[in-house]
């Protein structure tokens, strides 16, 4: 059957009577400082990761805006296909918006207005944004959008080609 539990007396040590107590004074403070150092390094790494994430997220946002703007002008060109192909409605980087006076005089007024609105929108939406557009006589359109993502003078660009 069951044997009764035997309690074995143990020797109790007082903290002041323990032989190793004097050598360990302050060790818990060092452990806390080392732990704080490790946590601080981890938090710095996490802050760096967050900064990189925000930068990459902004980059992706600007690239998606450039894609949207390129698709927008493609749809505008498709609405005025004949004029776009025969009207010499090409737009260069740095050029005045096409709806400014005395620009793209061979291009129909509606398409000229659309292209001017588009060029102004590129400038407004993207930092230091600019765009170019060319359409050849077969209806092949090339749209280039560029912007200064970080404000450091380095240009980021997006280019797309499509038949209109």
pLDDT digits (tens, 9 = 90+) for 20-68: 555 556 678 889 999 999 999 999 999 999 999 999 999 999 999 999 9
Cα-based angle 158, 111, 149 (whole degrees, multiple of 5)? 20
**pTM for this model (two decimals):** 0.71
Q: Domain ranges for the chain, please list them.
A: 27-163
- Mean local confidence (pLDDT), 73-92: 88
Q: Are 144 and 93 in contact (CB under 8 A)?
A: yes
CA dihedral over 129, 135, 136, 139, signed as positive or negative: positive
Q: Has residue 164 got a pLDDT over 70?
A: yes
The rounded percent of the chain whose pLDDT value lies above 70 is 79
């Amino acid at each position: 059957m069951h044997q009764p539990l035997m309690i074995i007396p143990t020797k109790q040590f007082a903290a002041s009577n323990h032989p190793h107590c004097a050598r360990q004074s302050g060790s818990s403070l060092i452990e806390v400082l080392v732990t704080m150092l490790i946590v601080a390094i981890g938090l710095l790494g996490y802050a760096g990761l967050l900064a990189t994430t925000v930068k990459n997220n902004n980059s992706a946002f600007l690239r998606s805006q450039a894609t949207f703007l390129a698709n927008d002008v493609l749809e505008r060109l498709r609405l005025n296909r004949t004029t776009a192909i025969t009207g010499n409605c090409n737009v260069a980087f740095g050029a005045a918006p096409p709806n400014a006076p005395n620009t793209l005089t061979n291009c129909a007024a509606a398409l000229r207005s659309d292209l001017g609105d588009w060029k102004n929108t590129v400038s407004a939406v993207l930092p230091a944004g600019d765009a170019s557009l060319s359409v050849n006589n077969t209806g092949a359109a090339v749209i280039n959008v560029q912007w200064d993502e970080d404000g450091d003078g380095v240009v980021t660009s997006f280019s797309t080609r499509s038949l209109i």
